[in-house]
Amino acid sequence: MPRADLTWTPQGTPGSARFGDIYYSRDDGLAESRFVFLEGNDLPRRWRDHPRDTFVIGETGFGTGLNFLLAWQAWKAAPLPRPRLHFLSLEQYPLRAPELRQALAHWPELAPFAAALQDAYPPPVPGVHRLQFEGGAITLDLWWAEAGEALADLRQRGLPLVDAWFLDGFAPARNAGMWQEALLGHLGKLSQPGATLATFTAAGAVRRALQASGFAMRKGPGFGRKRERLLGRLERPAERTLPAGTPWDLPETRSPAPRSALVIGAGLAGCATAAAFARRGIPVTLVERGRLAGAASGNAQGMLYTRLSRRHSALTDFALLSFVHASRTYAAMFAGGELESGRDGELCGSFHQHRDREELDALAPLLADTPELAQVLEAAEASARLGVEQQTAGYWFPGSGWMSPAALCQAWTRREGVTLIEDCGDATLRRSGGQWQALGPGGELLATADCAVIACAGHSAGFEGLDWLPLQAIRGQTTQLPAGPPFNSLRTVLCHAGYIAPATAGGHCIGATFNLGDDCVAARAADHRHNLDTLGRAVPAWAGALAELDAATLEGRVAFRCTTPDYLPLAGPAPDLGALTQRFAGLRQNARRDIPHFGAFVPGLYLNIGHGSRGLTSTPLAAELVASLACGEPPPLDRHLARALAPARFPIRDLGRNRL
C-alpha cells in the first residue's frame, strides 16, 4: 500500500504531504469531529430509536481513526439498550502503526480506545480488515483500498447498508478524487432509508453530486473559522438493480437477520461459526456427531500458516487476509483470558524455510515496509531467532505461532449464547414452517433455528441436496516427539516440508503426512518414520537424535483433511442446484456469456467447509463471512474474494464446462 507521507506541525498535528492538508483542526480536533460528524448525524440520539439491531456508519477517509474513536466513545456512554455499532471506513493511504500511535497520543481522553485500536491495527495489506471490540458489539471494517473502487464493490451487492455517512476526505480543492461525482453517486445506493450524512465542506459541486445521489441537502454552521458545512438525509431510496455480468453469487431477496442459528459440526469451522453468531447476540445450537474437536480439529498442535507470493490470486490473497485476521483474533483471545498462552497455544512467531532465492529477493524490499507482517531472514538470523541451526533462508512471521485446536474450539463454545450438543450421530436437516430442524438418527428433534450452517467437513456431502459437493479427503498423520534435548532448544514454530512447535506438556506434535487416496485410519510406523526423516532434513543437527527414535513406539494421530479442487474453502449460502442449473443453463453454450439473473439458494442454509490443512488460519474469517451474509451486514471480504469462496462457484464452473 502507498504510504500516507505524513508531516507534523510543531504542535503535533499530522498532515499529508501528498495533499497539502491536515488530518484534523489545529484548534480542537476533538470538538470539530464531534460537531461535524456526530452532531451532524444526530448521534447518539438516533441510536435510542434505531429500528435494527446494528447501526452502520460509513466513512470516506479513516486517517488517524479519530472519528471512529469518538463514535466508539459516544456509543460506550450511550444508555442501554443500544444497537451494535458497525463502522465501515475506507482508506487508500493508511498510516503505519507507529504513525497512528504518534497521532493518537495527542488525545489523552481517548487513550483506552486508542490503545485497543493500536493493538488490533492491521498492516497495510490491501483488502478488508475486520476488527472487533467490546466483545463483538463494535465492528470496524477497514478497507485499505481506493474509496471509489471500494464503494463500487460494495454497491455491486445491491443492498442498502449504511445508516450515517462521515465524509471526511481531505479538502475537495486538495484531493478532488475523494469528492468526484461518480464516487459520491454510490452513497445513495448503499444507504438505508432515512440515512444521513455530514461533512465539513460546503462545496457546491459536492452538494449537487449528493443531491443527484438521492440526498436532500442543506447547509449548517461550520466549525471554528469555517462558515458552513453540508448535511443531508436520503429522501429517494434506491431501487435494487442487477449488477453487470452474471451475478450468480448474489441472492435475489434480502432475508431478515436470523433470531437463532443452528450449526452442524463442532470442529474449527463449526465452532468459529457458532462464535460469530453468538457475538451478534444470536443464540446458536452446535450439533456434533461425536465429541467436540474430535476429527481433523483434534491434533495436539496446529500451526498458524500463510503463503506469500509476488502474484495476486484469490488463493494467496485470501490466505494472507485470513492469516492477519486469525492472528488478531487469537491475540485478543489470549489477552482477554479465553486462552492461556503456553498451554492453549502461543503466538511465538514462526519461521518458514523457503529455498526459492529469486522469490525471497523479490519480496524482501516489499516486506521491508511491513515488518509486523513478515520479514525475510537469512539462515544465520533465523538460527538465532529459533534457537536451532538453520541452513536456508526463509520468511519470519512475528504474529504467527501454534494453537491447540481443541482448546480453541472449547473457548469458542464457552461463549454466551452457544449450546453444544455432542454424540448426536449422523444428523439430518429438514426445513419446516420457515425454520431449519436438526434431527438425530432416530428422527428425534435436536434443535430448531431460523438458519443452518453445515460445517462437518467431508460428511457435508451426505446432506440432502449436497451430493454434488466436490470434496476430497486427504489423510494426514502426526507424530508425537518426546520433550527434552535436543528438541527443547526450539523457541518458535518451524515450518518446512512439515512443521514443529515448541513443546507442550505432551511433547512436540510434528507432521504431517499428505496421503492422497489413502483411507487407513490407523497410525503407521512408516508414516512416523517419514515425519522424523522430513524433520531431520530440515534440521540436520537433529538428524542423529531423530534416527535413533523407534518409530514403532511413538504416539501419533490420523485425521482426514477436507479439501476442494481449488484449495479454497466453501463459505457462503448453499445453492439450490436445480434452480441454479435452470437459471444459468446458457453457460453450457458460452461460459463467458452474461446472464442477468440473481443466484438461486436454499433459504437460510449456509456452508463453511473445505479448509484443508489451514483451518486455524481460514476458519475465523470464513465464519465472519457466513454470519455477515446471513445477517445482511457489510461483508468482511471484497466481492471478488467472496465469490471465490462461494459454494455455487463449482456448479457454475461445471455449467461453463458443460459437465452439469
pLDDT band of 10, cuts 50, 70, 90: confident
Residue 164: inside a domain, yes or no? Answer: yes
The grid coordinates of residue 295 equal 476429527
**339 in any annotated domain:** no
Residue 5 predicted with pLDDT over 90: no
Mean pLDDT of 172-179: 89
Q: Is the pLDDT of residue 529 over 80?
A: yes
Q: Are 38 and 70 in contact (CB under 8 A)?
A: yes
96 and 223 in a single domain? The answer is: yes
591 and 628 in a single domain? The answer is yes
Q: What is the pLDDT of residue 549?
A: 96
485 shares a domain with 463: no
CA distance 87 to 636: 12
**Is 541 contained in some domain?**
yes
pLDDT of residue 20: 84
Label residue 240 by pLDDT band (50, 70, 90). Answer: confident
Q: How confident is the model at residue 213 (pLDDT cuts 50, 70, 90)?
A: very high
Same structural domain, 85 and 211: yes
Same domain assignment for residues 519 and 438:
no
What pLDDT, on the 0 to 100 scale, is given for residue 547? 97
- Domain-ending residue, one of 513, 544, 562: 562
Report residue 58: phi and psi, to 5°. Answer: -110, 135
Structural domain containing residue 429: 261-296+407-471+565-656
Question: What pLDDT, in 10s, does the model give residues 600-636?
Answer: 999 999 999 999 999 999 999 999 999 999 999 999 9
Residue 77 belongs to domain with CATH number: 3.40.50.150
CATH code at position 540: 3.30.9.10
In a domain, 244, yes or no: no
Among 63-67, 113-117, 294-298, which is the least confidently predicted range?
A: 294-298
In terms of domains, do 487 and 623 share one? no
Instruction: State whether 440 and 531 are in the same domain.
Output: no
**Region 142-155: what's the mean pLDDT?**
97
Beta-ladder partners of 353 = 394
Name the domain count of the chain: 3
Q: Which residue has the cell 460469530?
A: 276
Are 172 and 290 contained in the same domain? no
- Quick one: what percent of the chain has pLDDT higher than 70? 100
- Write out pLDDT tens, residues 83-92: 999 999 999 9
Record the pTM.
0.96
Question: Do 553 and 580 sit in the same domain of this protein?
Answer: no
> Cell numbers at residue 162, please?
449504511
State which of 234, 253, 274 marks the end of a domain.
234
Q: Is 508 part of a structural domain of the chain?
A: yes
Domain shared by 101 and 172, yes or no: yes
Q: Cβ distance 167 to 199 under 8 Å?
A: yes
Residues 269 and 138 in one domain: no
Contact partners, residue 635, CB within 8 Å, separation at least 6 = 128, 154, 157, 625, 628, 629, 642
CATH number at residue 456: 3.50.50.60
25 falls within a domain: yes
Instruction: Give me 225's grid cell.
Output: 473559522
